[in-house]
Amino acid sequence: MKDLINDFSSYLETERRASSHTVKNYLVDLAQFSNFMQNRRRGMKVTEIDHAVVREYLGTLFGKKNPTSIARKLSSLRSFFDYCVKRGTVKDNPAKEVPAPKVPKRVPKFLTVDEVFALLETPDATGALGRRDKAIMELLYASGLRVSELVGLNRGDLNVDDGVVRVLGKGRKERMVPVGKKACDALKNYLDLRPALAGDSAVNTAIFVNRNGTRLSTRAIERMMIKYLRQSGIQKAATPHVLRHTFATHLLNAGADMRGIQELLGHSSLSTTQKYTHVGIEKMMEVYDKAHPKA
């Protein structure tokens, strides 16, 4: 099975052009299933795995993992066995016969407009690091980028004069996203001092770099967000992804078209974008309760 998993990893990278983060998640899930097979079904061939084996594996996860995590692991198995079917290793996909657990719908977390403004004003923009941090958060809120997309940006992807950024999203799909004036100003201020961090080397193309001049990591941005949330006094646990949710929620509440938001976020399916309608409905009900005399 390990050889098949390695081949599947190469397939994801070359043919599916999946991100390193996506490939890593698949490999973690499949390694856990492989360990289960070694412990419970040693000697069983891949061609002998049926839906009962998959169901037994998922049964070992209940009580240890939440439904969302179990559903993801089942999805990983379905993708893996789809690949096995495609290459002729197995005839049918046994994971497709196993129903996914019910996953409770989660309303995306977001910040209010006042909270966003307070957060964006927190960094000390007199130095290179402060300007960098402000530019990062301004861009996340202005354009709704995934943090993985942001750290992958290179200097050639950004045009602050035209207010647009070229983004390589999930599945290596490219999209052009507008950048607001406030974010462009913050980016210009940072880029003026970027050489103090990255030097003048033409080899280093990353827009956002750390103290050592190398590309900033997603984890570093998560830590940065925690720091500024504390400094701003915002009593919410928020990640960089919450700024993406906030971007979409504020646009929806301001009357933006759902299809337009879908394009900006880089969602392949409108159903993914529609989760933000729950936030819009909650806001509408709040306004109704306050304004209607019979509410």
- Enzyme catalytic residues: 146, 170, 241, 244, 267, 276
Which letter does DSSP use for residue 237 in this model?
-
Q: Are 46 and 87 in contact (CB under 8 A)?
A: no
CB atoms within 10 A of CB 79: 20
Tokens of 245: 């949710």
Q: Are 19 and 148 in contact (CB under 8 A)?
A: yes
Q: Are 9 and 26 in contact (CB under 8 A)?
A: yes
Q: Which long-range contacts (CB under 8 A, 24 or more apart) does 237-242 make?
A: 238/109, 238/111, 239/147, 240/140, 240/147, 240/150, 241/146, 241/147, 242/108, 242/109, 242/110, 242/111
